Structure formats: C-alpha cells, structure tokens
Amino acid sequence: MRSGHGIAALSMLALALAACSSSTKPGPASAPETAAAPTTAGVPATPRTPTGSPSTPGAPAGSVAAPRCRSAQLTPSLGPPEGAAGSVYRVLVFTNTGSQACGMQGFPGVSYVAGDVGQQVGPAAERVGDAGGSVRIAPGATGSAQLQMVNVANYDAAVCRPTPVRGLRIYPPGETAALFVPVEATGCAGNPPGSQLTVGTIITP
C-alpha cells in the first residue's frame, strides 16, 4: 500500500512540474517587427512655379512690334532707272526721317499724277507678289519696293491716250495721307490693255 501512495505522489509531482513548466515556457516566437519605412514629412518639398507665373521673373515676354510708319515720318525717293524690254525699273525708297523706329508691311499705293492739282492719270499701280512680312525701319534707315514703269508707247495710242505726268502719288501701306515723288514720264489717261505701273511689297534694302 505504501508503494502505491509513493507512486501516486510521484505522479502528482510530475504533473505539478509540467504545469509550472508550461506556465513559464515562452509561446511561439512572434514575427520580427518590420522597421517603419522612412517618411517624407521631414524632407523639404521641391518648390514649384505657380501656374501662370513666368519661370524667370523679369524675363522679356517677346519683342514688341514697332508702330506703323506714318506718312509724316517718311520721305520717298526713286533709285536710278534700270532699263528692260518695254519697261523701266526703279526702286521706290522710303526713308524714316522720324525719331522712332516704325514698321511697314504690304504694298504702297502708287499712281501717276499731272497738272497743278495732281489729278491721277490712268489706273494705279498693280500689286505683284506676296504681301510679305513686317519690315522694321529704324530712324534714318529705309524700306523699299520695286516699281515697274511700262513704256506706254507700246500701247495703241487711241486706247492709251498718252499723257505727260509730273510724278507719282504714293500712299505708304495703311496710310491715307499721300506723298509725292517728281518724275518725268508718260502715262495712259485711258485704260491700256496692260498695267502701266506695277509695284512690289515693302522689303529692306
């Protein structure tokens, strides 16, 4: 009987030790904590240019076109004649005699005039070629256009009605105030079958 009590006591002791061991035994190892990813809270943001603002303050926004040349600041003249078959070619020159730069674009208006009051003789010059771009003319500088003066003696006199002229009435592009250049020539007071005058667009010399 004593031996049975001993066995029972040993069994109880073993159970007690097992219980104690299980209470102190660490549980399953937990996964190691992952280091937190660095945040950008402390990193200064790259400055941005506000919408609609120039990237470089004070930078020029582009060149500004010069104001249109006015008749009052222009002095016209004719270059030396150059002969061709049935025509004479001359360069119509506009000199900027003003104090500021100005711009010219397109065709000048040109016609023959006669008499003391400057009545127009025949049709005005026909425009030939493209209108071209704007030409900036500094003070003292020039712009020019090619002018063709046809020998009207080649036309039928009954249709042409040849008439001596005193010069050319000239309108700079976009202007209504006329300028005058003296020249000795003969125009058609009638309606010739072709152009007695042709003029090109304004260009730089």
Residue 169: CB atoms within 10 Å: 20
What stretches of the chain show up as alpha helix (H) in DSSP? 2-24, 157-160
What is the pLDDT, as a whole number, of residue 142? 97
Instruction: Give domain status of residue 174, yes or no.
Output: yes
What is the pLDDT, as a whole number, of residue 26? 46
Q: Which domain, by its residues, includes 109?
A: 71-199
Instruction: Give domain status of residue 99, yes or no.
Output: yes
CATH code of the domain containing 185: 2.60.40
Instruction: Give domain status of residue 205, yes or no.
Output: no
Instruction: Give domain status of residue 100, yes or no.
Output: yes
- Which residues are registered as beta bridge partners of 186? 164
Instruction: Give domain status of residue 65, yes or no.
Output: no
What is the pLDDT, as a whole number, of residue 116? 83
What is the pLDDT, as a whole number, of residue 64? 59
What is the pLDDT, as a whole number, of residue 65? 77
Helix or strand or coil: residue 87?
A: strand
What is the pLDDT, as a whole number, of residue 135? 95
What is the pLDDT, as a whole number, of residue 12? 52
What is the pLDDT, as a whole number, of residue 50? 40
Instruction: Give domain status of residue 7, yes or no.
Output: no
What is the pLDDT, as a whole number, of residue 117? 83
What is the pLDDT, as a whole number, of residue 92? 98
What is the pLDDT, as a whole number, of residue 2? 46
- Number of structural domains, the chain? 1
Angle at the Cα of 123 from the Cα atoms of 147 and 201, rounded to 5 degrees: 30
pLDDT, tens digit only, all 205 positions of the chain: 444 444 444 445 444 444 444 444 444 444 444 444 444 444 444 444 344 333 333 333 445 578 999 999 999 999 999 988 899 999 999 999 999 999 999 999 999 999 888 999 999 999 999 988 999 999 999 999 999 999 999 999 999 999 999 999 999 999 999 999 999 999 999 999 999 999 999 998 7
**Nearest to residue 182, comparing CAs of 80, 78, 90, 110?**
78
Instruction: Give domain status of residue 97, yes or no.
Output: yes
Contact 129, 151 (CB under 8 A): no
Q: By CB neighbour count within 10 A (0-12 exposed, 13-18 middle, 19+ buried), where does 107 fall?
A: buried
Helix or strand or coil: residue 38?
A: coil
Task: State the amino acid at position 114 in one-letter form.
Answer: A
Contact 132, 163 (CB under 8 A): no
Contact 150, 165 (CB under 8 A): no
Instruction: Give domain status of residue 157, yes or no.
Output: yes
